[in-house]
Amino acid sequence: MKLFDRVAIVGLGLIGGSMALEIKKRKLASKIIGVSRHQKTINIAKKRHAIDSGGTSLGLIREADLIILATPVIKLIQSLPQVFKLAKKGAVIIDVASTKAEVLLAANRLANKNKYFLGCHPLAGSEKRGIANAGLGLFKGSLCVLTPGRVANKNAMNKISRLWHKLGAKTIMLDPKKHDEILSFTSHLPHIMAFSLINTVPSSYLKFAASGLKDTTRIASSDPGLWEDIFLTNNKELVRSLNKFNSSIIRFKKIIEKKDRNSLRKFLRSAKRKRDSLE
């Protein structure tokens, strides 16, 4: 069942490309238009039958009923004035960025009853990037956080919720700042740990790396440019989560220095219980 006539996706990477493939497969739109900085990406997207047409000009979004912004977050924020200018009356604009407070702050200055904006963050992905790695099933069983702007539009919000449900995700509503606080712990901090850990290990030792190091640092293979933007647009919350993590490391260091077996056992068992509680 079609939810939209024309859908334009700006940014055909892992998330944008996977959304295009899912929307196409489920026939949720009459036409999918792709926009990318690189014509090569458009060509691959066409070859994979992810989009019907596309190009490098943002002007291609003019006739879209739904505009999905799937570019790195700082570029996304910078593009918002032009996106709102080009969007037609009645268009719904969503983003899929990993931070939300700065996105909504910028969007709220531009949104109105005729051009509605809704923040979205699908909690799905991979350390891999690009349209070549996009695929079906990426959102199955995942959670998508919705962060509404200041302009209310119940019909548009319901439609976007239905879109995510069709793609296989459950939805939950959060305040943008609360979203950034939570994700600083559950997503952004783990990436910082992975980047920091692999940078700590001497290069000459890497030939001895087994599954422990490889599993723990897998996400350090993520796109540096993408994560630069995420860290810089959530810096305040990240400083708070880093301070808490630092306190935990200092505590662990003291336990090891003192060879305090009882405290060490409690620390490890507490961590195991938490990790085992994850679904």
Domains in the chain, CATH or no CATH each: 4-174 (3.40.50.720), 179-277 (1.10.3660.10)
Tokens 């679904």 -> residue: 279
User: What single string gives the DSSP state of each residue in 84-137?
Assistant: HHHSPTT-EEEE--S--HHHHHHHHTT-BTTBEEEEEEE----S--SGGG--TT
Q: Are 50 and 31 in contact (CB under 8 A)?
A: no
CA distance 145 to 121: 5
Residue 220 CA, distance from chain mean position: 16
pLDDT of residue 129: 87
Residue 11's alpha-carbon distances to 35, 93, 110, 136, in angstroms, are 6, 14, 21, 17
pLDDT of residue 144: 98
Single-letter amino acid code for the residue at 8 = A
Residue 79 has pLDDT above 80, yes or no: yes
Question: 203: burial class by Cβ within 10 Å (0-12, 13-18, 19+)?
Answer: exposed
Residue 137 CA, distance from chain mean position: 16
Residue 152 has pLDDT above 90, yes or no: no
DSSP structure class, residue 112: B
Residue 125 has pLDDT above 90, yes or no: no
CA distance 89 to 111: 11
Residues 6+ apart with CB under 8 A from 156: 92, 116, 118
Provide the β-strand partners of residue 172: 145
Mean pLDDT of all residues in 88-115: 96
Single-letter amino acid code for the residue at 87 = A
Residues 6+ apart with CB under 8 A from 166: 3, 22, 26, 28
What pTM does this model have? 0.93
Q: What are phi and psi of 79, to 5 degrees?
A: -85, -15
Lookup: tokens for 62: 């003019």
Residue 128 has pLDDT above 90, yes or no: no
Q: Are 134 and 50 in contact (CB under 8 A)?
A: yes
pLDDT tens digits for range 51-75: 999 999 999 999 999 999 999 999 9
Tokens 């296989």 -> residue: 168
Residue 143 has pLDDT above 80, yes or no: yes
Q: Are 160 and 126 in contact (CB under 8 A)?
A: no
CA distance 242 to 233: 15
Greatest CA separation for the chain: 67
Residue 31 has pLDDT above 90, yes or no: yes
Residue 267's alpha-carbon distances to 45, 89, 189, 274, in angstroms, are 48, 56, 20, 11
pLDDT of residue 113: 87
